Amino acid sequence: MAHDFLQRITESLVDGDPIRTVALTREALEAGVEPMAIIDGALLPGMRVVGDRFSTGEYFLPNLIVAASGMKQAMAALEPELKRRHQALASAGTVVIGTVKGDIHEIGKTLVGTMLAANGFEVHDLGVDVPTQRFVDAVKETGATLVGLSALLTTTMSVQRKVIEALVAEGIRSRVKVLVGGAPVSAAWAAEIGADGYAEDAVGACDLAARLVGAR
Ligand code: B1M
């Protein structure tokens, strides 16, 4: 039954039917399907298909926008359940997270932020297209010990390096750990730009974040 739900959710996302995506997501939750199973087993595979079809010219920008809307709305339906499962955790630390300047992809960053919050972190989500100085200011204002930088475009990966350089220039690099992620980002890239770590997905980001700030 769970598999059937997951398949139908994926199809609704690929077909560009956000209302159906949300309705099926709610039904799956009510039927006892785990929120992370819905994300990993239905929503992410659907977004991958949409991205691949965009790459091959079968889909266009409006298809991306509609699919993203479906995923966002489904995530909003899942968020309370994700948080509820981790309510008892003590604060693990303060995190500033955002998608770097020039990049408006928000779903992965928001998912990572939600999962960090669900794992006990106090999360300050700066949004998308975040100016480099804004990250620096937010670290100072919040006393964060971790900065998360998301970049989905090969053209915006280099902005992650700029943020690290800005943290160095402001003399606060040693105060914070820097975690980078996003589809074109890799462990090798993280090492090249002097980040403290790279995570491939939201679950990996939570594990690494906890290790980096010594919460685990
Ligand atoms: Co865009 N887009 N997009 N897009 N888009 C991609 C990224 C692309 C791969 C599609 C493709 O060509 N196949 C391609 C990038 C190519 C490249 O540079 N390598 C691309 C392009 C080219 C563009 C535009 C340039 C298109 C245009 O205008 N011609 C444009 C750029 C706009 C800009 O940012 N300046 C653009 C626009 C858009 C939309 C606005 C339409 C929309 C985003 C809407 C929104 O976010 N509200 C969109 C979408 C939806 C996509 C795809 C289809 C899906 C992205 C997504 O949300 N995935 C994407 C193709 C793809 O990735 N398959 C694509 C689901 C999300 C949960 O996964 O974001 O990867 P993801 O996050 C993952 C991991 O990466 C990781 O964990 C997350 C959860 O597992 N992660 C982190 C992410 N951040 C992390 C941070 C961490 C740790 C892990 O630590 C801090």
What letter does residue 122 receive in the DSSP assignment? Answer: E
Helix (H) or strand (E) holding 30: helix 18-30
Round to whole Å and give the CA distance between 72 and 77. Answer: 9
Cβ 210 under 6 angstroms from ligand 1: no
- At 86 the pLDDT is 65
pLDDT in tens, 68-107: 899 989 999 998 888 787 654 556 799 999 999 999 999 9
Handedness of CA 178, 124, 155, 182 (dihedral sign): positive
- At 92 the pLDDT is 79
What letter does residue 100 receive in the DSSP assignment? Answer: B
Q: pTM to 2 decimals?
A: 0.90
- At 79 the pLDDT is 87
Mean pLDDT of the 42-49 span:
92
Beta-strand relationship, 146-150 and 93-99: parallel
* Ranges assigned E (strand) in the chain: 93-99, 121-125, 146-150, 177-181, 197-198
Residue 216: pLDDT band with limits 50, 70, 90 = low
* Ranges assigned E (strand) in 45-101: 93-99
Number of C-beta neighbours around residue 29 at 10 A: 17
Residue 147: pLDDT band with limits 50, 70, 90 = very high
Number of C-beta neighbours around residue 214 at 10 A: 10
Cβ 153 under 6 angstroms from ligand 1: yes
C-alpha separations of 58 from 8, 85, 101, 139 in Å = 21, 39, 29, 42
Number of C-beta neighbours around residue 74 at 10 A: 27
Q: 113-139 in b/e burial notation, b at 16+ Cβ within 10 A?
A: bbbbbbbbbebbbbebbbbbebbbebb
pLDDT in tens, 184-206: 999 999 999 999 999 999 889 98
Cβ 82 under 6 angstroms from ligand 1: no
Please give the distance of CA 3 from its chain centroid, rounded to a whole number. Answer: 24
Burial degree of 43 (CB within 10 A; 0-12, 13-18, 19+): buried
- Mutation probe of ligand 1 site: the residue of 152, 158, 203, 208 with most atoms within 8 A of C-beta: 152
Ligand 1 atom closest to 97 (CA): 91
Mean pLDDT of the chain: 92
